[in-house]
Chain A
Amino acid sequence: MASSATTGNPMPPSLSMPPSQFARLQPHAYLRAHLSPPSSDQPSVRANGRATSQFRVTSVNTGSLTHANGSAVVRIGDTTAVCGVRAELLHTSDISSWGVSQAPSKQNPTNTNEAKDSKSEDEDDQGQIQDLNLLVPNLSLSTGCAPGLTPGAPPSALAQSLSHQILSLLHTTNLVRADDLRIWYQPPNFDSEEFHNPGEGMEVDTEQSGGPEREIKAFWVLYIDIMILSMAGNAFDAAWASVLAALRDTKLPNAWWDDDNETILCSDDFAEAHRLTLRGLPIASSFCCFEGDAAAGWRANVIPDAEEQKKKKGSQQKWILADPDGYEEGLTQERACVVVDKENGKTIIVKMEKHGGWNVDSDDLRKLVDVSSQRWDDLKQALEQC
């Protein structure tokens, strides 16, 4: 700062201050000044140096945790999410409503391989995964990841709603196949010769058709725990990407019902373990809408009609920022999130939400879907490299 140390100078001290001070004192004006382009043909640049639809550098690292069946560390800029998937067993004998709700004829899995994408199987899958709570995602923010979040406290409303969003998205996308989680058992055919030697007879029996029906003895329950180690905005994208990467990395041991011990035993052989076959690759992209005139609601209570607002040209009133960082999230209220998947090059929207304002209209959302589908390509590459 220039000082008035030069004696006798009547000039007041200069009012200049470093940008970091300005960013703290006048955050809204600071971001607005960054976004307003010096001339109309130049693109807007955000305070963090990114273009409006540019995402932060994303890195994915999987399989680094020793005790998880699948794990991933995802960094989106300064936001870090660690996800670990632990598989535990749920015996059907522990499910109180099992015998009642499951008709044995329904459990015939013969068509699973042929009709993988048939809707009826999807529904059946979702029903079992959802009814039996086979997917248990929990997100923790109490890791000291941001100054406002007290460690050791119970999950904040934000953590709870993020956990719910992840669970809801896991259910609606049918990402995990229920058949990957089922542990089947073919009871030995007691009429046949092998009755005296059930242990050996088991594998033979599976080939026979006349024996008792195959039954589900247990399910794998996937505990998906996400720790946000560093929180610098856009926790949902990072958390979802980490869940996706960890599930792709998850290996379930080969498990079977042991009739002698009346329990499920697993093989520790790596070669026998199977990976989950996930349905699609839904990738989330979050956006926020920065309003140029923050005081608009302060001065005028009359908000123009949607049509009028559209016609009004001139100085830009709003900027939609992709992958907002913590600073930008603090300055905006309107949020949008688009989850897209691609099938044969065609973009499919799996989830779309926007709330918290009225500046983002359907034209903007169309652009956001395009941005999200580009993001899908980038993140797919990052996920496949690891």
Chain B
Amino acid sequence: MADRRRINGPPAGTRPPVYASLKESKTGVSERTLRQRQPTELRKFYLKTGMIPTASGSSYLEFAPSAALAAARSNPKSLIPPSSALKVACTVHGPKPLPRSVPFSPNLLLTTHVKFAPFAARKRKGHVRDTTERDLGVHLETALRGAIIAERWPKSGLDITLTIVEAEDDRWWGDAPDSHDASWGMLNVLAGCITAASAAIADAHIDCLDLVSGGVAALVSDDASTAPRLVLDVDPAEHRSIQSACVVAYMPARDEITELWLKGDSSRAALEKSDGRTGHEALIDGAVDAARGANTILTDAVRESIARSFAQV
């Protein structure tokens, strides 16, 4: 049954284009660009609040394009982008009275919606929210609920909407999905969503315990012989395979984690001999470090938001 509320494409469906030159490309894109950053070096990102004046609070987060992507943009050779850079727009509406149908609540009720734009990823996304998007929404809600002081707004609701204009890759585009493959890009998206939502909530002047920010760390193996090593802020397109990855939502002032999501097998980490930590401990510590790094940019963005609201008064 076609969706009567949208304009539909051809009834038989369409196929995404298949590129002929995956193996012997003339344009030289068939080589994976490897990670240039240090294992503990984070990607730069841009975070700005108040971009959407119709909302109570809003923010826009954009990751700096990787070197390969930046080169492909300035001097395009191939139509296949080497990697992607996360772009998230976040709006916060509220606190507002709950609709009549909702029963009494002594706390602020949080609703989170994460939606990918149809053109966000390599594969075209549908208009209806799929399980991935719902899953991200639930994780995000958990991450934020721990930071918001909800009892200050009884009988109220807060709508947080995130639009993913451009998502992260799950793997390098030329790789076939293998056995221990998962949607690694989703972890990066979640970390970005947490940071963006945190900025938007602060922009909407909602009381929080602390600014919560997201961070990702991963155990990656670039060749099969060596044990996987720990890198912070992983870009899945830059690695041959990711063994395990972890995203946290972290509040630095209180040293608290509000959300933790760990995927994959973290038992075979290549750590220093003196390091007594297990693989997953190292992974979580790495993710927390990444979140700390993101927090500095978040703090600047929020400071700017406050300066703007003071200027208005």
Contact = CB atoms under 8 A, between A and B. Distances in A.
Contact between A and B in the complex (any CB pair below 8 Å) = yes
Interface of A: 63, 65-68, 71, 78, 80, 82, 84-91, 94-96, 132-134, 136-138, 140, 142-147, 150-152, 154-155, 160, 163-164, 167, 221, 223, 225, 227, 229-232, 251, 253, 255, 258, 263-271, 273, 326
A221 B56 CA distance: 38
B9 A136 contact: yes
Contact of A268 (B9, B19, B93): B19
A89 B15 contact: yes
A253 B25 CA distance: 14
26 contacts: A67-B81, A84-B119, A88-B17, A88-B124, A89-B15, A89-B17, A143-B91, A144-B90, A144-B91, A144-B163, A145-B52, A145-B54, A145-B91, A147-B56, A152-B161, A160-B5, A160-B6, A167-B7, A221-B9, A221-B14, A227-B163, A229-B52, A264-B15, A265-B18, A268-B27, A269-B77
Contacts of B11: 96, 133
B21 interface: yes
Contacts of B7: 136-138, 163-164, 167
A190 to B, nearest CB: 24
A288 B27 CA distance: 52
B5 A155 contact: yes
Contacts, number: 192
Contact of B10 (A95, A146, A167): A95
- Which are the 4 A-B pairs with shortest beta-carbon distances? A144-B161, A84-B119, A144-B91, A88-B14
Contacts of B78: 268-270
B161 A143 contact: yes
A186 to B, nearest CB: 18
Interface residues on B, range: 35 or more
A167 B6 CA distance: 11
Contact of A163 (B6, B26, B124, B166): B6
Interface stretch (B110-118, B144-152, B186-194): B110-118
B98 interface: no
B54 A78 contact: yes
Contacts of B19: 253, 265-268
Given A94-B10, A137-B7, A265-B19, A270 B77 contact: yes
B16 interface: yes
B24 to A, nearest CB: 12
Contacts of A231: 54
B311 interface: no
A335 to B, nearest CB: 20
Contacts of B80: 268
B155 to A, nearest CB: 18
Contacts of A270: 27, 76-79
Interface string B1-42: 000011111111111111111000111010000000000000
B52 A80 contact: yes
B120 interface: yes
Nearest to A270: B76
A272 to B, nearest CB: 9
B49 interface: no
Contact of A227 (B55, B58, B165): B165
